[in-house]
Amino acid sequence: MYRKILYPTDFSETAELALEHIKTMRKLGGEKVILLNVIDKSEEENLLSTIFKIFNIGSKEREEIEKKLKDESLKKLDEIKKELESLGFEVKNISVFGTPHEEIVKVANEEDVDIIIMGSHGKTNIKEILLGSVTEHVIKKSDKPVMVIRRAEG
């Protein structure tokens, strides 16, 4: 039924809970997982532009910082990839800069996934909010089924 799964992750606690659900999908016929980390361009832009102004950093240094951010993202995705491959999944890593919900919907369509499995909240969401804004946008904009995993209470 859900053979090809998109797992967008920001490496948050809730994303890790979603990963546990993905692992169980192997027993239910899951075959392939697309791991996606979107480096939020707006957050990165705000942080870097402030740093660049303060320290008068040029474009070469900016490229180096972006490369380090991407390398770190891929390193974390590789750890998850190894774990899922050990369970028998075929796994593909994708790390991109962009607006998270837009990139998630785009990759879901490009990869023609059967389902998106993601956490209800990412790193930056306030606990009192019912549903994180990225998750809410993905649900509204995607024509793929979306399984939302709630964060742990406490």
pLDDT in tens, 113-151: 999 999 986 555 444 444 568 889 999 999 999 999 987
Most confidently modeled range among 37-41, 49-53, 54-58, 85-89: 85-89
Nearest to 113 by CA among 3, 28, 27, 14: 3
Nearest to 36 by CA among 53, 52, 15, 54: 15
Q: Would you state the pLDDT for residue 143?
A: 96
Q: Would you state the pLDDT for residue 40?
A: 86
Q: Would you state the pLDDT for residue 123?
A: 52
Check pLDDT > 70 for residue 48. Answer: no
Consecutive H or E run containing 77 = helix 59-85
Q: Would you state the pLDDT for residue 81?
A: 98
Taking a C-beta distance cutoff of 8 angstroms, is the pair 101, 138 a contact? yes
Check pLDDT > 60 for residue 45. Answer: yes
- Tell me whether residue 129 is exposed, middle or buried, using C-beta atoms within 10 angstroms of its C-beta: 0 to 12, 13 to 18, 19 or more: exposed
Q: Would you state the pLDDT for residue 63?
A: 81
Q: Would you state the pLDDT for residue 62?
A: 73
Consecutive H or E run containing 92 = strand 90-98
Look up tokens 């075929």; give the residue. Answer: 90
Tell me if residue 149 falls in helix, strand or coil.
strand
pTM: 0.85
Domains of the chain in start order, with CATH, are 4-39+76-149 (3.40.50.620)
Q: What integer is the mean pLDDT of 38-54? A: 71
Q: Would you state the pLDDT for residue 140?
A: 94
Check pLDDT > 80 for residue 42. Answer: no
Q: Would you state the pLDDT for residue 127?
A: 47
Q: Is the dihedral of CA 8, 14, 18, 20 positive or negative?
A: positive
Q: CA separation (Å) from 71 to 37, 86, 94?
A: 11, 23, 11
Q: How far from each other are the two terminal CA atoms of the chain, in whole angstroms?
A: 33
